[in-house]
Amino acid sequence: MTDILDELQWRGLLAQHTDLEALRAHLASGPVTFYCGFDPTAASLHHGHLVQVLVMRHLQLAGHRPLALVGGATGQIGDPRQSGERVLNSTEVVAEWTQRLKEQIARFLSFEGDNAAVMVNNLDWTGPMSAIDLLRTVGKYFRVGTMLNKDIVARRLASDEGISYTEFSYQVLQANDYLELFRRYGCTLETGGNDQWGNMVGGVDLIHKVEGASTHVMTTPIITKADGTKFGKSEGGAIWLDPELMTPYAFYQFWLQVADEDVIRFLKIFTFLDRARIEELEVEVAERPHQRAAQKELAARVTELVHGADELARVQAATQALWGGADLREVDGATLVSATADLPRATLKLGESTIVDALEATGLEKGRGAARRTVASGGAYLNNVKVEDEDAPITQADCLPGGVVLVRKGRKNLAVVNFE
């Protein structure tokens, strides 16, 4: 197998690190126990967390042992953000979100075998600590000058809002997590996003001061698009992994819309496709970009990874039905409602409305005269079936699963009709 650090570098998953050759030798010396932390500051992981989970999976496949830390304690604080102070969530909400994140992370790792993953919660060791315990046993090893020089702290101090002692202390708690995992599990490597570098090396320093041991950290880069802008916002907001916050159909469509300039890089980051297959797709992008083979592969692999093969089959069927002319009645109601959520829509009376009413009401045509001309020219469709009789009423028999009717003008102009 390719050296795991070489593999991560080729995939664009390695940014900063402690001594690279020492880390390479450490990983080659035998199974290494490593950890990555996830704070429950929302009800779901998003695509940024997915990068970290995939790094964990790569390391586990290479024989190393992952500790997935969900921050039941640090999630009640929140690491400092450039945009300003966080709103603190209640302990009950954080506990609920902690459980949800554990369930999401568990789907990506193996909890069996010699290097079985372990799920941990930093509330288990932080909760019982008193303020005196924290200050005496951990706080005395931190120098305020060093803490003030952390990039995000310095930026917040320079802002009008400043930074609270609560968020300023976050780096102490994260460093203590690494120390505890070193003591409890022999953990010697922490992975995370590049924005966590300052907090992560704080843990390395703490372990060195308290235990006299050398440990390692490595980070992934912040994922950006080819134009330098941050990757990962849809019209509805974040790219959530929870299907209740972002439907599998919307998730699939997001990846399907990735630009040609980005798709090969994202195939390396977000999938486990091997080099040979990615190189084949790179040729496809260069020679036949209109076929979007790489985007289809990216959308399929990431959707299957996050939502499973059954859900992938459903969203692909819905996509084919909406845009490829397949039978819409083969798509289940929930997927069809999700797939049509962002289309123009109108509400009409069932049994009293016609294709002309539908074209006009949904805005696909401006006026009844234009709608009639579209029908006469063969450009109007109801549920992918060409309509020839402009006066035929739309009835219950025309309703698809989910209670909707799909109206089409030409090949690509779609709208949805609901009925009173």
Name the binding residues for L-tyrosine.
35, 170, 174
- 306/245 Cα distance (integer angstroms): 13
Maximum C-alpha span of the chain = 85
Annotated binding site: 35, 170, 174, 233
Distance CA 307, CA 13 (A): 23
Annotated binding site for ATP: 233
As a residue count, the chain comes to 420
By C-alpha distance, which of 6, 131, 116 is closest to 66?
Answer: 116
- Closest by CA position to 365, among listed 296, 62, 373, 226: 373
How far is it, in rounded angstroms, from Cα 404 to Cα 335? Answer: 12
Distance between CA atoms of residues 357 and 361, nearest Å: 6
> Within 13 Å of residue 190, how many CA atoms lie on the same side as its CB?
30
Residues whose CB falls within 8 Å of the CB of residue 209, separated by 6 or more in sequence, listed in order:
141
1 token code pair: 């197998």
Query: How many Å apart are CA 81 and CA 90, to the nearest integer?
Result: 19
The CA-CA-CA angle for residues 257, 50, 275, to 5°, reads: 70
Give dist(CA 20, CA 59) in Å, integer: 16
d(CA 117, CA 119) in angstroms, rounded, equals 7
Cβ distance 330 to 317 under 8 Å? Answer: yes
User: Per the structure block, which two tokens stand in for 119?
Assistant: 């799920």
Which letter does DSSP use for residue 14 in this model? -
The beta-carbon contacts of 4-12 under 8 Å, at least 24 apart in sequence, are 4/58, 4/59, 4/62, 4/64, 7/58, 7/62, 8/55, 8/58, 10/268, 10/275, 11/58, 11/268, 11/269, 12/221, 12/265, 12/268, 12/269
Q: Is beta strand 33-38 parallel, antiparallel or unpaired with respect to 65-70?
A: parallel
Is residue 71 within 8 Å of residue 167, measured between CB atoms? no
Burial class (CB in 10 A: 0-12, 13-18, 19+), 408: buried
